[in-house]
Amino acid sequence: MPVVGSAKEMIHFIKERFQIRQCKKFKNQDRVCLNFHIKKCLGPCMGYVSKEDYHKQIDQIMLLLEGKIDRIIKELKQEMAQYAGQQDYEKAAKIRDRIQAIERVSEKQKVSNISEHNIDVIGLYKNEMTVCIEIFFIRGSKMIGREHYFFDDLKDMEEEEIVAGFLKQYYFEKIELPNKIMMRFALEEKEAIEKYLSSKAGRKVELKSPQKGEKLKFVEMAELNSKITLENKLKDKSDILLELKDVLKLEKMPLKIESFDISNMAGNFVVAGMCVVQNGVIKRNLSRRFKIKTVVGQDDPKCMQEVVSRRLKHSLENPNGGFGKLPDLILADGGITQIRAIQKVLEENHLGNQIPVFGMVKDDKHSTRALMNEQREEFEISEKLFHFITNLQDEVHKTAIEYHRKVRDKEMTKSKLDDISGIGNKKRAELLKKFGSVKKIKEATIEEIAQVKGINLKLAEKIKQELL
């Protein structure tokens, strides 16, 4: 399949044939790196190449990526002739070799018999959980790259509806638009989308659904690539879960993982966040937030017990409800006290041996370096598993922190008027509209307060008394 890895191949080609810098640190260099000595860099960090000559390399790379092969070869031939005229045959030979290399890679990129110069090809593949959309970019009759995007929870949507939604989201925000967009489906909104894109581009932009020939084959190739891309992604997730199962010595695959985190400020505004990993993917729509109801002060273990108890109750009473089935694994964003707090709740609900619990052991940078069980036994994790767990840790922490801020801000901005019976949102708004603040209302006379719409003399007396 000629397009697979074409982007990587082009990057490799550019690094091999164009002497541009590949280092990340550019300033304060005291010597050139190895790439300069092996003729893979011009040494701009040390001023060994002029800005003009270096920018000329960058301009040629841009032409190459845009598929403007004829123009770049024309410029290189002029440059080669100039060096030859100066009898600098070594530089002329290097330019000749670059021209031949560009012609070879250009030939490999040619897209069969498709003669149009500016086409995007869209392929779609979906399974019961995820949709993958793959886009091929054809410029100057050559494949210059591709992109792919994943969308979860679209299994109930028709493929035509998914593609139409993607077109609106993707192309309505793009500045550069192709002349044609090819896909499998003839969309109901075809004319409206074409009209909008054409107006935006200042020229005709067409949506095409080829039925035969090379163009159909290319749409099929994009669809096949989307299928392979999605399968590879799912394989990566499956490998992660399998590794987690082996590392923690679990009896079954942890297809559903839940993590909890407590957030508070010196025991005030205590809340908790819960995040869910389903089949290796963090499902933000399954995240839950809890406001602590029974614990007074700063006692994270007791807060964790309350939260987990409330969470388990949902599934035990209604397995088909919003919380779904019980998790296969619980990861606590805390140490041994959190683990034991959760374990105690599981045992109280006769689930002690059914749901394993592990804590995330932090390093001095508050990143998870290992997992720990109730016996304080630590399980080292690979770099791949580290990234997976860190993403979950960040997500549950973010959920808890954001909810904590929301509760805190709401409480801190709460008006004293809210505690007075008989004062609803409308009357409160009218009072603040007239006086500007609670302090001004407190300073006003009963008669002045009674002049506010909806406030009678009796209620005005009550307001004055409550605010004293």
Q: According to the 3-state scheme, what is the secondary structure of the chain?
A: CCCCCHHHHHHHHHHHHCCCCCCCCCCCCCCCCHHHHCCCCCCHHHCCCCHHHHHHHHHHHHHHHCCCHHHHHHHHHHHHHHHHHCCCHHHHHHHHHHHHHHHHHHHHHECCCCCCCEEEEEEEEECCCEEEEEEEEEECCEEEEEEEEEEECCCCCCHHHHHHHHHHHHHCCCCCCCCEEECCCCCCCHHHHHHHHHHHHCCCCEEECCCCHHHHHHHHHHHHHHHHHHHHHHHHHHHHHHHHHHHHCCCCCCCEEEEEEEEEECCEEEEEEEEEEECCEECHHHCEEEECCCCCCCCHHHHHHHHHHHHHHHHHHCCCCCCCCCCCEEEECCCHHHHHHHHHHHHHCCCCCCCCEEEEEECCCCCEEEEECCCCCEEECCHHHHHHHHHHHHHHHHHHHHHHHHHHHHHHCCCHHHHCCCCCHHHHHHHHHHHCCHHHHHHCCHHHHHCCCCCCHHHHHHHHHHHC
Lowest mean pLDDT among 182-191, 280-289, 362-371, 400-409: 362-371
CA distance 356 to 331: 9
Average pLDDT over residues 216-241: 84
Confidence of residue 362 (pLDDT cuts 50, 70, 90): confident
pLDDT exceeds 60 at position 266: no
Confidence of residue 2 (pLDDT cuts 50, 70, 90): very low
pLDDT exceeds 60 at position 238: yes
CA distance 99 to 71: 11
Residue type at 55? H
Q: Residue 95 corresponds to which tokens in the numbers above? A: 């330019």
Lowest mean pLDDT among 108-122, 369-383, 395-409, 442-456: 108-122
In 3D, which of 193, 190, 178 has the Cα closest to residue 135?
178
Superfamily per CATH, domain 256-411: UvrC, RNAse H endonuclease domain (3.30.420.340)
Structure pTM? 0.52
Is residue 274 a contact partner of residue 259, using CB atoms and an 8 Å limit? Answer: yes
> What's the pLDDT at 15?
75
CA distance 1 to 281: 29
Q: What is the CATH number of domain 416-467?
A: 1.10.150.20
> What's the pLDDT at 155?
66
pLDDT exceeds 80 at position 314: yes
> What's the pLDDT at 141?
66
> What's the pLDDT at 343?
93
Confidence of residue 3 (pLDDT cuts 50, 70, 90): very low
pLDDT exceeds 90 at position 288: yes
pLDDT exceeds 80 at position 145: no
Q: Residue 335 corresponds to which tokens in the numbers above? A: 């140490």
27 vs 352 pLDDT, higher one: 352
CA distance 221 to 225: 6
pLDDT exceeds 50 at position 45: yes
Q: How many residues does the chain have?
A: 468
The structural architecture, per CATH, of the domain 118-231 is 2-Layer Sandwich (3.30)
> What's the pLDDT at 442?
85
> What's the pLDDT at 389?
87
pLDDT exceeds 60 at position 267: no
Q: Residue 399 corresponds to which tokens in the numbers above? A: 């959920």
pLDDT exceeds 60 at position 7: no
Residue type at 334? G
Q: List, edge to edge, every strand of the sheet that includes 118-126.
A: 142-152, 130-139, 118-126, 180-182, 206-208
pLDDT exceeds 90 at position 133: yes
pLDDT exceeds 50 at position 5: no
Confidence of residue 329 (pLDDT cuts 50, 70, 90): very high
pLDDT exceeds 60 at position 159: yes
Q: Residue 327 corresponds to which tokens in the numbers above? A: 């998790």
> What's the pLDDT at 415?
65
Look at the block and give the residue holding tokens 């949709």: 131
Q: Residue 22 corresponds to which tokens in the numbers above? A: 């590949």
Question: Which tens digit of pLDDT belongs to each residue from 406-441?
Answer: 877 666 555 677 778 888 878 888 888 888 777 888
Average pLDDT over residues 151-170: 84
Question: Which tens digit of pLDDT belongs to each residue from 256-265?
Answer: 999 998 887 6
Mean pLDDT in the chain?
82
Question: Which tens digit of pLDDT belongs to each residue from 92-107?
Answer: 888 888 888 777 666 5
Confidence of residue 212 (pLDDT cuts 50, 70, 90): confident
Domain pair 118-231 / 256-411, same fold: yes
Beta strand pairing call for 357-362 and 368-372: antiparallel
Write down the domain spans for the chain. Answer: 6-108, 118-231, 256-411, 416-467
Integer distance in angstroms from the first to the last C-alpha of the chain? 80
> What's the pLDDT at 370?
82
Is residue 65 a contact partner of residue 57, using CB atoms and an 8 Å limit? Answer: no
> What's the pLDDT at 27?
57
